[in-house]
Protein backbone atom coordinates (compact mmCIF):
# COMPACT_ATOMS: atom_id res chain seq x y z
CA UNK A 1 0.00 0.00 0.00
CA UNK A 2 1.17 3.54 -0.74
CA UNK A 3 2.96 5.01 2.29
CA UNK A 4 1.08 8.04 3.55
CA UNK A 5 1.67 9.82 6.80
CA UNK A 6 -1.09 8.44 9.00
CA UNK A 7 -3.00 10.92 11.13
CA UNK A 8 -3.86 9.77 14.65
CA UNK A 9 -7.29 8.18 14.81
CA UNK A 10 -8.65 9.01 18.25
CA UNK A 11 -10.91 5.96 18.69
CA UNK A 12 -10.41 2.48 20.09
CA UNK A 13 -13.78 1.19 18.92
CA UNK A 14 -16.58 1.93 16.47
CA UNK A 15 -19.72 1.42 18.51
CA UNK A 16 -22.03 4.06 17.06
CA UNK A 17 -22.06 7.28 15.07
CA UNK A 18 -22.33 9.74 17.99
CA UNK A 19 -18.68 9.43 19.00
CA UNK A 20 -17.38 10.31 15.52
CA UNK A 21 -16.64 13.96 14.70
CA UNK A 22 -17.13 15.40 11.22
CA UNK A 23 -13.32 15.27 10.83
CA UNK A 24 -13.29 11.59 11.85
CA UNK A 25 -15.96 10.82 9.27
CA UNK A 26 -14.01 12.64 6.54
CA UNK A 27 -10.84 10.80 7.56
CA UNK A 28 -12.62 7.41 7.40
CA UNK A 29 -14.07 8.23 3.96
CA UNK A 30 -10.68 9.44 2.66
CA UNK A 31 -8.94 6.33 4.00
CA UNK A 32 -11.57 4.09 2.41
CA UNK A 33 -11.13 5.86 -0.92
CA UNK A 34 -7.32 5.60 -0.75
CA UNK A 35 -7.48 1.90 0.04
CA UNK A 36 -10.05 1.37 -2.70
CA UNK A 37 -7.92 3.09 -5.33
CA UNK A 38 -4.80 1.14 -4.29
CA UNK A 39 -6.63 -2.18 -4.52
CA UNK A 40 -8.24 -1.25 -7.84
CA UNK A 41 -4.77 -1.01 -9.38
CA UNK A 42 -3.51 -4.27 -7.90
CA UNK A 43 -3.82 -7.69 -9.41
CA UNK A 44 -3.10 -9.34 -6.04
CA UNK A 45 -5.54 -7.72 -3.63
CA UNK A 46 -3.51 -7.99 -0.45
CA UNK A 47 -1.38 -5.71 1.73
CA UNK A 48 0.52 -6.70 4.91
CA UNK A 49 -0.96 -3.81 6.96
CA UNK A 50 -2.52 -6.13 9.58
CA UNK A 51 -0.10 -9.03 9.33
CA UNK A 52 0.19 -10.76 12.69
CA UNK A 53 -3.06 -9.21 13.95
CA UNK A 54 -6.03 -11.42 14.80
CA UNK A 55 -9.60 -10.33 14.18
CA UNK A 56 -12.49 -12.26 15.62
CA UNK A 57 -15.77 -12.06 13.73
CA UNK A 58 -18.59 -12.86 16.12
CA UNK A 59 -21.78 -12.95 14.04
CA UNK A 60 -24.62 -13.99 16.32
CA UNK A 61 -27.36 -12.82 13.93
CA UNK A 62 -27.64 -13.71 10.23
CA UNK A 63 -25.67 -11.62 7.75
CA UNK A 64 -24.44 -11.88 4.18
CA UNK A 65 -23.15 -8.44 3.17
CA UNK A 66 -21.60 -7.31 6.46
CA UNK A 67 -20.03 -10.66 7.34
CA UNK A 68 -18.54 -11.31 3.91
CA UNK A 69 -17.25 -7.76 3.47
CA UNK A 70 -15.60 -7.73 6.91
CA UNK A 71 -13.96 -11.04 6.09
CA UNK A 72 -12.75 -9.79 2.71
CA UNK A 73 -11.51 -6.54 4.25
CA UNK A 74 -9.57 -8.46 6.91
CA UNK A 75 -8.09 -10.85 4.31
CA UNK A 76 -7.04 -7.96 2.08
CA UNK A 77 -5.20 -6.45 5.06
CA UNK A 78 -3.59 -9.85 5.85
CA UNK A 79 -5.13 -10.23 9.32
CA UNK A 80 -5.61 -13.67 10.83
CA UNK A 81 -9.34 -14.31 11.12
CA UNK A 82 -11.52 -16.39 13.37
CA UNK A 83 -15.21 -16.61 12.40
CA UNK A 84 -17.81 -17.57 14.96
CA UNK A 85 -21.49 -18.02 14.14
CA UNK A 86 -24.27 -18.47 16.70
CA UNK A 87 -25.32 -21.94 15.58
CA UNK A 88 -21.81 -23.39 15.88
CA UNK A 89 -20.81 -21.67 19.13
CA UNK A 90 -21.32 -22.51 22.82
CA UNK A 91 -23.92 -19.70 22.89
CA UNK A 92 -26.50 -22.30 21.82
CA UNK A 93 -25.61 -24.14 25.05
CA UNK A 94 -26.53 -21.03 27.03
CA UNK A 95 -23.13 -19.36 27.47
CA UNK A 96 -23.53 -15.63 28.09
CA UNK A 97 -22.05 -12.99 25.78
CA UNK A 98 -19.76 -11.95 28.67
CA UNK A 99 -18.37 -15.45 29.17
CA UNK A 100 -18.11 -16.02 25.42
CA UNK A 101 -16.19 -12.74 25.14
CA UNK A 102 -13.88 -13.55 28.07
CA UNK A 103 -13.19 -17.01 26.68
CA UNK A 104 -12.32 -15.60 23.29
CA UNK A 105 -10.20 -12.85 24.86
CA UNK A 106 -8.06 -15.52 26.52
CA UNK A 107 -6.95 -16.44 22.97
CA UNK A 108 -5.59 -12.87 22.51
CA UNK A 109 -7.46 -11.44 19.52
CA UNK A 110 -6.63 -7.81 18.64
CA UNK A 111 -10.16 -6.76 17.68
CA UNK A 112 -13.69 -8.15 17.81
CA UNK A 113 -16.32 -7.49 15.15
CA UNK A 114 -19.73 -8.27 16.62
CA UNK A 115 -23.27 -8.54 15.33
CA UNK A 116 -25.80 -9.35 18.06
CA UNK A 117 -29.56 -9.11 18.51
CA UNK A 118 -29.15 -7.16 21.78
CA UNK A 119 -28.63 -3.41 21.50
CA UNK A 120 -25.53 -2.38 23.46
CA UNK A 121 -23.71 -5.72 23.26
CA UNK A 122 -20.68 -4.22 21.39
CA UNK A 123 -20.46 -1.49 24.05
CA UNK A 124 -20.64 -4.14 26.79
CA UNK A 125 -17.79 -6.17 25.26
CA UNK A 126 -15.64 -3.09 24.69
CA UNK A 127 -16.18 -1.86 28.25
CA UNK A 128 -15.62 -5.15 30.05
CA UNK A 129 -12.96 -6.75 27.85
CA UNK A 130 -11.05 -3.54 27.03
CA UNK A 131 -10.46 -4.61 23.45
CA UNK A 132 -11.14 -2.75 20.17
CA UNK A 133 -14.65 -3.59 18.98
CA UNK A 134 -16.53 -2.77 15.78
CA UNK A 135 -20.30 -2.86 15.93
CA UNK A 136 -21.57 -4.83 12.92
CA UNK A 137 -25.21 -4.25 13.94
CA UNK A 138 -26.66 -4.47 17.47
CA UNK A 139 -30.38 -5.21 17.58
CA UNK A 140 -32.43 -2.19 16.58
CA UNK A 141 -29.79 0.20 17.93
CA UNK A 142 -27.08 0.99 15.36
CA UNK A 143 -25.18 -0.21 12.30
CA UNK A 144 -22.43 2.41 12.04
CA UNK A 145 -20.36 0.73 9.31
CA UNK A 146 -23.49 0.57 7.11
CA UNK A 147 -24.10 4.31 7.53
CA UNK A 148 -20.46 5.06 6.66
CA UNK A 149 -20.55 2.90 3.53
CA UNK A 150 -23.86 4.52 2.58
CA UNK A 151 -22.28 7.96 2.93
CA UNK A 152 -19.30 6.91 0.79
CA UNK A 153 -21.70 5.59 -1.87
CA UNK A 154 -23.59 8.89 -1.94
CA UNK A 155 -20.40 10.98 -1.99
CA UNK A 156 -19.12 8.98 -4.97
CA UNK A 157 -22.05 10.49 -6.94
CA UNK A 158 -22.59 13.91 -5.37
CA UNK A 159 -19.93 16.18 -3.86
CA UNK A 160 -21.58 16.76 -0.51
CA UNK A 161 -24.68 15.84 1.46
CA UNK A 162 -24.76 19.28 3.08
CA UNK A 163 -28.14 20.86 2.38
CA UNK A 164 -29.29 17.81 0.37
CA UNK A 165 -32.64 16.14 1.07
CA UNK A 166 -32.35 12.47 1.96
CA UNK A 167 -35.54 10.48 2.52
CA UNK A 168 -35.42 7.24 4.53
CA UNK A 169 -38.51 5.06 4.08
CA UNK A 170 -39.96 2.00 5.74
CA UNK A 171 -39.64 0.14 9.02
CA UNK A 172 -37.88 2.94 10.88
CA UNK A 173 -38.86 1.49 14.25
CA UNK A 174 -36.75 -1.65 13.88
CA UNK A 175 -33.99 -0.20 11.74
CA UNK A 176 -30.48 0.18 13.12
CA UNK A 177 -29.54 1.32 9.60
CA UNK A 178 -31.99 4.23 9.82
CA UNK A 179 -30.77 5.28 13.27
CA UNK A 180 -27.09 5.31 12.26
CA UNK A 181 -27.88 7.01 8.96
CA UNK A 182 -29.98 9.78 10.50
CA UNK A 183 -27.23 10.52 13.04
CA UNK A 184 -24.51 10.51 10.38
CA UNK A 185 -26.39 12.42 7.67
CA UNK A 186 -27.51 15.10 10.12
CA UNK A 187 -23.93 15.40 11.41
CA UNK A 188 -22.78 15.98 7.82
CA UNK A 189 -25.42 18.67 7.21
CA UNK A 190 -28.12 16.80 5.25
CA UNK A 191 -31.86 17.43 5.58
CA UNK A 192 -33.34 14.08 6.56
CA UNK A 193 -36.94 12.99 6.03
CA UNK A 194 -38.33 9.85 7.63
CA UNK A 195 -41.35 8.08 6.14
CA UNK A 196 -43.28 4.96 7.09
CA UNK A 197 -46.55 3.71 8.54
CA UNK A 198 -47.43 5.44 11.85
CA UNK A 199 -47.00 2.12 13.69
CA UNK A 200 -43.38 1.93 12.50
CA UNK A 201 -42.60 5.63 12.78
CA UNK A 202 -43.75 7.21 16.01
CA UNK A 203 -43.51 11.02 16.30
CA UNK A 204 -40.68 10.67 18.85
CA UNK A 205 -38.41 9.58 16.00
CA UNK A 206 -38.28 13.28 15.12
CA UNK A 207 -35.90 13.62 18.09
CA UNK A 208 -33.34 11.77 15.96
CA UNK A 209 -33.35 14.84 13.75
CA UNK A 210 -35.57 13.80 10.84
CA UNK A 211 -38.77 15.39 9.52
CA UNK A 212 -41.65 12.91 9.77
CA UNK A 213 -43.84 11.94 6.78
CA UNK A 214 -46.53 9.29 6.51
CA UNK A 215 -47.19 9.84 2.81
CA UNK A 216 -44.55 8.40 0.48
CA UNK A 217 -45.26 10.78 -2.41
CA UNK A 218 -44.78 13.83 -0.20
CA UNK A 219 -41.69 12.33 1.43
CA UNK A 220 -39.83 11.71 -1.83
CA UNK A 221 -40.85 14.92 -3.60
CA UNK A 222 -37.66 16.80 -4.56
CA UNK A 223 -35.41 14.35 -2.68
CA UNK A 224 -31.78 13.97 -3.80
CA UNK A 225 -31.54 10.49 -2.27
CA UNK A 226 -34.20 7.93 -1.33
CA UNK A 227 -33.09 5.18 1.03
CA UNK A 228 -35.53 2.29 1.36
CA UNK A 229 -35.45 -0.03 4.38
CA UNK A 230 -36.26 -3.68 4.86
CA UNK A 231 -39.45 -4.62 6.69
CA UNK A 232 -37.97 -6.54 9.64
CA UNK A 233 -40.65 -9.15 10.24
CA UNK A 234 -38.29 -11.15 12.48
CA UNK A 235 -38.29 -8.29 15.03
CA UNK A 236 -42.08 -7.79 15.01
CA UNK A 237 -43.89 -9.45 17.90
CA UNK A 238 -47.24 -8.11 16.67
CA UNK A 239 -48.79 -6.98 13.39
CA UNK A 240 -47.64 -3.45 12.55
CA UNK A 241 -49.64 -3.30 9.31
CA UNK A 242 -52.76 -5.19 8.19
CA UNK A 243 -51.26 -7.11 5.23
CA UNK A 244 -48.14 -7.13 3.08
CA UNK A 245 -50.31 -5.95 0.18
CA UNK A 246 -51.42 -2.95 2.19
CA UNK A 247 -47.79 -2.09 3.02
CA UNK A 248 -46.80 -2.47 -0.64
CA UNK A 249 -49.68 -0.25 -1.77
CA UNK A 250 -48.61 2.59 0.51
CA UNK A 251 -44.83 2.29 0.88
CA UNK A 252 -43.33 0.35 -2.05
CA UNK A 253 -41.00 2.71 -3.96
CA UNK A 254 -41.93 2.62 -7.64
CA UNK A 255 -40.84 4.28 -10.89
CA UNK A 256 -43.73 6.72 -10.40
CA UNK A 257 -42.31 7.79 -7.03
CA UNK A 258 -38.83 8.14 -8.53
CA UNK A 259 -40.23 10.69 -10.98
CA UNK A 260 -41.31 12.85 -8.02
CA UNK A 261 -37.77 12.97 -6.64
CA UNK A 262 -34.99 15.15 -8.16
CA UNK A 263 -33.75 14.35 -11.64
CA UNK A 264 -31.03 11.69 -11.25
CA UNK A 265 -32.05 11.05 -7.64
CA UNK A 266 -30.08 8.25 -6.01
CA UNK A 267 -31.87 5.14 -4.75
CA UNK A 268 -30.49 3.02 -1.93
CA UNK A 269 -31.34 -0.08 0.08
CA UNK A 270 -29.05 -1.71 2.65
CA UNK A 271 -30.34 -5.18 1.73
CA UNK A 272 -31.55 -7.78 1.92
CA UNK A 273 -34.41 -6.41 -0.21
CA UNK A 274 -37.98 -7.60 -0.41
CA UNK A 275 -38.59 -6.78 -4.06
CA UNK A 276 -42.17 -5.65 -4.80
CA UNK A 277 -42.78 -5.01 -1.07
CA UNK A 278 -40.25 -2.25 -0.36
CA UNK A 279 -39.00 -1.46 -3.85
CA UNK A 280 -39.95 -2.22 -7.44
CA UNK A 281 -37.26 -4.18 -9.33
CA UNK A 282 -37.43 -1.57 -12.11
CA UNK A 283 -36.14 1.01 -9.59
CA UNK A 284 -33.82 -1.28 -7.64
CA UNK A 285 -32.01 -2.25 -10.84
CA UNK A 286 -32.12 1.19 -12.47
CA UNK A 287 -29.21 3.53 -13.22
CA UNK A 288 -30.27 5.58 -10.21
CA UNK A 289 -29.66 2.64 -7.90
CA UNK A 290 -26.59 2.55 -5.61
CA UNK A 291 -27.50 -0.82 -4.13
CA UNK A 292 -24.53 -2.75 -5.52
CA UNK A 293 -22.19 0.22 -4.93
CA UNK A 294 -23.25 -0.01 -1.27
CA UNK A 295 -22.21 -3.66 -1.19
CA UNK A 296 -18.83 -2.98 -2.85
CA UNK A 297 -18.13 0.05 -0.64
CA UNK A 298 -18.70 -2.13 2.42
CA UNK A 299 -15.27 -3.67 1.83
CA UNK A 300 -13.52 -0.27 1.55
CA UNK A 301 -15.15 1.23 4.63
CA UNK A 302 -14.47 -1.86 6.73
CA UNK A 303 -10.85 -2.00 5.54
CA UNK A 304 -10.48 1.66 6.50
CA UNK A 305 -11.89 1.12 9.99
CA UNK A 306 -9.76 -1.97 10.65
CA UNK A 307 -6.67 -0.14 9.39
CA UNK A 308 -7.37 2.98 11.46
CA UNK A 309 -8.07 0.99 14.62
CA UNK A 310 -5.25 -1.55 14.32
CA UNK A 311 -2.77 -0.62 11.61
CA UNK A 312 0.65 0.73 12.57
CA UNK A 313 -0.25 0.87 16.27
CA UNK A 314 2.50 -1.58 17.21
Interface residues with ligand CP (CB under 6 A) are: 63-67, 137, 146, 270-272
Task: Evaluate whether 251 touches 169 at the Cβ level (below 8 Å).
Answer: yes
Measured from the CB atom, the residue of 63 and 274 that comes closer to ligand CP is 63
d(CA 71, CA 82): 9
Measured from the CB atom, the residue of 66 and 165 that comes closer to ligand CP is 66
Measured from the CB atom, the residue of 63 and 254 that comes closer to ligand CP is 63
d(CA 155, CA 31): 14
Measured from the CB atom, the residue of 62 and 198 that comes closer to ligand CP is 62
Q: How far is the CB of 121 from ligand CP (least distance, A)?
A: 16
d(CA 113, CA 61): 12
Q: How far is the CB of 63 from ligand CP (least distance, A)?
A: 3
Q: How far is the CB of 230 from ligand CP (least distance, A)?
A: 8
Question: Which residues have C-beta within 8 Å of that of residue 89, sequence separation ≥ 6?
Answer: 60, 95, 100
Q: What torsion, rounded to 10 degrees, do the Cα atoms 100, 235, 280, 191 define? A: -90
Q: How far is the CB of 248 from ligand CP (least distance, A)?
A: 21
Question: Which H or E run includes 58?
Answer: strand 54-59
Measured from the CB atom, the residue of 64 and 245 that comes closer to ligand CP is 64
Measured from the CB atom, the residue of 144 and 210 that comes closer to ligand CP is 144
Angle at 211 between CA 289 and CA 196, to 5 degrees: 60
d(CA 89, CA 95): 9
Q: How far is the CB of 167 from ligand CP (least distance, A)?
A: 18
Task: Evaluate whether 279 touches 269 at the Cβ level (below 8 Å).
Answer: yes
Amino acid sequence: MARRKKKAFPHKAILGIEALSVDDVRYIIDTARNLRSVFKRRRIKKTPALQGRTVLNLFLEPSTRTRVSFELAEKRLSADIINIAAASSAIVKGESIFDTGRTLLAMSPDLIVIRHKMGGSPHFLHKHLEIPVINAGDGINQHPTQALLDLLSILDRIDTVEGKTITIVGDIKHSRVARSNVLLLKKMGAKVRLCGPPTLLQPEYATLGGEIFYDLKQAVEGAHVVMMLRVQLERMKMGYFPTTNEYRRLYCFTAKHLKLARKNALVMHPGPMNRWVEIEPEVADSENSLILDQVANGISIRMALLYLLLGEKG
